[in-house]
Structure formats: C-alpha cells, structure tokens
Structure 1
Amino acid sequence: MSNVMSNTTSNLKQNKTVKSAVEAVIFDWAGTIVDFGSFAPTTIFVEAFKTEYDFDITLAEARVPMGLGKWDHIQAVGKLDSVAQRWSEKFGQTMLDKDIDLIYNRFIPLQKAKVVDHVEPILNAVNVVNDLKKQGIKIGSCSGYPRAVMDILIPAAAKHGYQPDCVVATDDLTHGGRPAPHMVLKNVIELGVGNVANCIKVDDSTPGIDEGHNAGMWTVGLLLSGNEAGLTAQQFQDATPEVLENARNKARLVMEKSNPHFLIDTIDDLPAIVAEIEQRLSVGERP
C-alpha cells in the first residue's frame, strides 16, 4: 500500500499525448468530493435520533458506520454497544426495524433540507476531476445517500463546477448497498467501461473501499478530508503539521482495515496515484 501526503500536485500534472490506461474513476460524494469532513450526513443522524425519539447519540457514534446506505447506517448505529445499552435502558428493548423506519423517515427530509449547506467542493476537487476528463478518463460516482437526496445534491454541486458523467444512489438498485459492488458496477455499465481493472474507486469510508475491492478495482482511501479525521476545511487549513499527523494516524487506523491500494490525504493528491496506476497497468499489473 502506497502513501502520498503532499498537499500540492501542480508539479505532478502531466501533458497527456495518449489516452490514459485508466478508463474511469468512481468517486464517493461526502468527504470525498464535497463536504469536507463529511458533516452533512453525520450531523443529521444526530438530529434525527433526537427529533424522533428524544434520544442522544454523539457525532462520533454517528460516524462509525459511515459509507453504508442510510437505513443500514441507522441500524448499525443502533447496534453499537454504547448506543444499544442506552437505548435498552431508555426503551426496555433493542432497536426494532420499525424504530429504524421512523428515524430514517425523519432523516430524509432533514437531509434534503440541509445537504446543500455542505455542498462546497473539497479544495481543488473540481480541477482534479476536470483534468482527469481531459485525459479521456470517465468520471463516475456513487453515494450512501438515497436518490431523493442526490436529486438535490447533484444540481447544487453542478453550480460549483462538479459534474460527474454518472451518478448512482444507494436505492437506485435492489441490492445497491455497500460493501456490495453493485453501485460501482452500475457505473461501469453506464460509462461503457471495458475492464474493471482499469477503474479506480476513491472513498473516505471502509465500506466504500470494500465496495471497490469487491468490484475488482483499484482503491484509494482518503485520510484527512473525510469521515474518519472529522476535520472541517478550516481546521485542515489552519492545522499544524503535528495536528494533521495525529488526524492522519487516527484515520489510517480505520482505513487500513479495508486494505486500500493507496492512502492519500485528499483528492488533491490523486493525480500522482493515477499516474502510478497508469504505469502499473502498462506493465500488466492488476488490482
């Protein structure tokens, strides 16, 4: 597993005279392309539990299952030892499917109302994506968000310049949820990709990395822009090297569990990884 930690990639960009060996890069959304720190979904989970059941969960607890579809995410939060114990003490039983349904139905309108508050692209994300397009690389995307939320997020992100070639939401498919590979494989089909080994999955969560592995793709995990570090964009920009290294190490402990091929800080570091994967593909290496 390689690590690239530079925060600038201007000296790594190459003028391509031939089409890239990489056919497609498939990105997650929150914590990967938009919403530095992945705050939109996590804060709304906290609010949905509180609003529907007057039950408190912490932001850290809300972050644990990040990357799953949102119904599955709520279920996973309810199964955390700390949450399950408090829930049982308050309600006298474990969380039931009907409880998850009620929290989910509360979550969706809250998320639809507030997702645009966290739509700003992560630093240099749009430039990186547009440079990939110039190399003939197709841009796919998938999300743990349902289609109802994506239908709001997609045009909002487009106003900031982010326009992927394909978007798949977690409920677009009968079996769409991560870590199953169905969402990324739907991207492969829609984008007309010839070989999944020529694709890269980029994500800030372990279910998203597992999704890429299960589809037979190269995988790139993000350490500092996503859920595990939990930094805001301002905190990231103001942080000392020591603070960043501590956040990086904290995120790495979780992300390494899914064994990504590469770990980088943010999407700003991705061009160097694409160049390395191109070189590996040229000598016949596969994920």
Structure 2
Amino acid sequence: MTTSSSVQAVIFDWAGTIVDFGSFAPTSIFVEAFKQGFDFDINLEEARAPMGLGKWDHIQAVGKLPSVDARWQAQFGRAMNESDIDAIYAAFMPLQKAKVADHAAPILNAIEVVDGLKAKGIKIGSCSGYPREVMDVLIPAARDYGYQPDCVVATDDLPQGGRPAAHMALKNLLELQVSDVRRCIKVDDAAPGITEGHNAGMWTVALLLSGNEAGLTFEQYQNAAPAALDVARATAREKLSASKPHYMIDTIADFPEVVADIERRIAAGERP
C-alpha cells in the first residue's frame, strides 16, 4: 500500500478509546469482584481512579486509595495484602471474560476513523490493560463490529509489566516494523496510557468524553446539555493534564484533525 502520511503508526487503547464508550466493562467488574471476593463495597469512582494500569496492579492501587484503605481496615482489621489482591483478581477474571464482549461495540465514528488511517497507509496498533485471556474474548467480538487492528498487545504479553512503562507501545512498533517512534501517535483515555506514549517517544492524544475520566454512558453523552458536557470535559481535562498529552479531544471522531496537525508539525521538523 502506498503511504500518503508522514505518520507511520497509531497505537490505540481499547476500552474508552475505540470500544466501550465510558469504559464501563472494567469498572463495573471491579465493583463486582470486590463484592464477590470479600463482600466489600467500592463505588465506580474508586474503581475508575487507577484506570489504565494492568488489572492486578489496578486492584492494588484501588486498595491503596485512602477511602478504600480506611473501610478495608475497619472491616478486616488490617490493610489489603497481596493474597487479597490475588483473590479479587481471581474473581475479576471470569467475570470480565464473561462480560467483556457485551462492551465491544465501537465508539462513534471509530471504525470510519481507523479505516481512514489505514487508507493513508498508517499502521494500526493497540494495547490494553486487559490480560491476554480477556483480549482473546474481546478481539473477535470487536472484529464482528468491523474493528481489526494490525497488532494487539495485552498487559501480560511482556514480562516487564504494563503501563505507564513503554513496553507495550514499543512491542507494537516492533511487530508493525515501524522505523521511527517520532512518527507514531499513542491515543488513550487514561493517564497511564498517555505516560506510556511519552515514555515510548510518541505523540500523545487524550480523549476527554468517551473514556474513563468523564465516565459517561453513550446515552448520557448524546442527551447531555452543552453545559453538562462542559463540566465533564473540564473534569477529564483536569485529571488528564497531569500526564501532559500533546492533544486533548472529546472522542476518536475528532482524531483526523489531530493527525493532520501532527503531519504538519512533522513536516516542519518538530518532534514529540
């Protein structure tokens, strides 16, 4: 295929970026896993707080939240330990595998945007905080909707661990045979994924309204008054700004304009 872009590859996150508007598949399952494993209640806001990490690390991070730690110690008389995390993770995995396909529908315009990138000769990579056994369920479900990236890397595919380290993003580039990280873009809805892109030397794009930080369902997004969207956008922007993305946009539908601007900046000799 003839390449008509100076961008060589785009590495997309999955939930909240390309599929699962609002990133509800992982968050709702975390709530259920804590309840099933220990009859312990966490809320969706707490479940969302460390989103983007590998799921074992995510559970550990939830346990360290001051609000969760205080309730855990009150209920069990001690802090959460690794055996507790293992037990919650064991509850999480079958629940996630059973339900992840229910959240495989693409976010608005995602397929059209990805197909447009492919038409320009841009390679499509992807990585996720999901482990491989969950991705093995999600990949074919997403394919049925028309989403098929050129490469998929799961958080446990590499021994070095997941985000915010650069390993998953760089593994994509090796598999895709990309020659220049400075001509690649990482797109994510959570701060660890943006930091992953920075650590890999890529341009980074954060999504404000389709992902974890806004936490809106698609119906809420569609029906929200402009003022309500402004509030959700400002909340997400505040949380994601700490990871210093090069761009912040509402959803993947706005991404083609970003690609055009990055192409302009590359032509001008700029680097991420």
Same-fold call, TM cutoff 0.5:
yes
1:49 maps to amino acid: F
Aligned residues: CA RMSD: 0.8
Partner of 1:285: 270
Note if 1:169 corresponds to 2:154.
yes
Partner of 2:127: 142
Note if 1:62 corresponds to 2:62.
no
Write the distance in 1 (CA, Å) between the matches of 2:52 and 2:268: 33
Write the distance in 2 (CA, Å) between the matches of 1:216 and 1:76: 26
Equivalent residue runs for 1:32-181 within 5 Å:
32-181=17-166
Residue 15 of structure 2: which of 20, 24, 30 is its match? 30
Q: Which runs of 5+ in 1 are unaligned?
A: 1-16
Write the distance in 1 (CA, Å) between the matches of 2:58 and 2:132: 16
Cα distance, 1:92 vs structure 2 = 0.6
Write the distance in 1 (CA, Å) between the matches of 2:82 and 2:162: 17
Write the distance in 1 (CA, Å) between the matches of 2:194 and 2:181: 15
Asked if 1 retains the 8 angstrom alpha-carbon contact of 2:3 and 2:122, the reply is no
Q: When the two structures are superposed, what TM-score results if normalisation uses the length of structure 1?
A: 0.94
Residue 242 of structure 1: which of 223, 227, 231 is its match? 227
Partner of 2:237: 252
Cα distance, 1:209 vs structure 2 = 0.1
Once the two structures are superposed, what CA deviation does each residue of 1:146-194 show, in whole Å capped at 9, x if it has no partner? Answer: 0000000000000000000000000000013100000000000000000
- The structure-2 alpha-carbon separation of the partners of 1:18 and 1:113, relative to structure 1 and needing over 3 Å to count, comes to closer
Write the distance in 1 (CA, Å) between the matches of 2:102 and 2:148: 18
2:20 maps to amino acid: D
Asked if 1 retains the 8 angstrom alpha-carbon contact of 2:166 and 2:196, the reply is yes
Write the distance in 2 (CA, Å) between the matches of 1:221 and 1:176: 22
SS at match of 1:258: coil
2:101 maps to amino acid: V
Write the distance in 2 (CA, Å) between the matches of 1:59 and 1:175: 29
SS at match of 1:226: coil
Note if 1:267 corresponds to 2:252.
yes
2:9 maps to amino acid: A
Partner of 1:186: 171
- The structure showing larger relative contact order (alpha-carbon pairs under 8 Å, at least 6 residues apart) is 1
- The structure-2 alpha-carbon separation of the partners of 1:18 and 1:208, relative to structure 1 and needing over 3 Å to count, comes to closer
2:88 maps to amino acid: I
Identical-residue share of aligned pairs (%):
69
Write the distance in 2 (CA, Å) between the matches of 1:147 and 1:176: 13
Q: Which runs of 5+ in 2 are unaligned?
A: none
Residue 212 of structure 1: which of 158, 172, 197 is its match? 197
Write the distance in 2 (CA, Å) between the matches of 1:258 and 1:118: 27
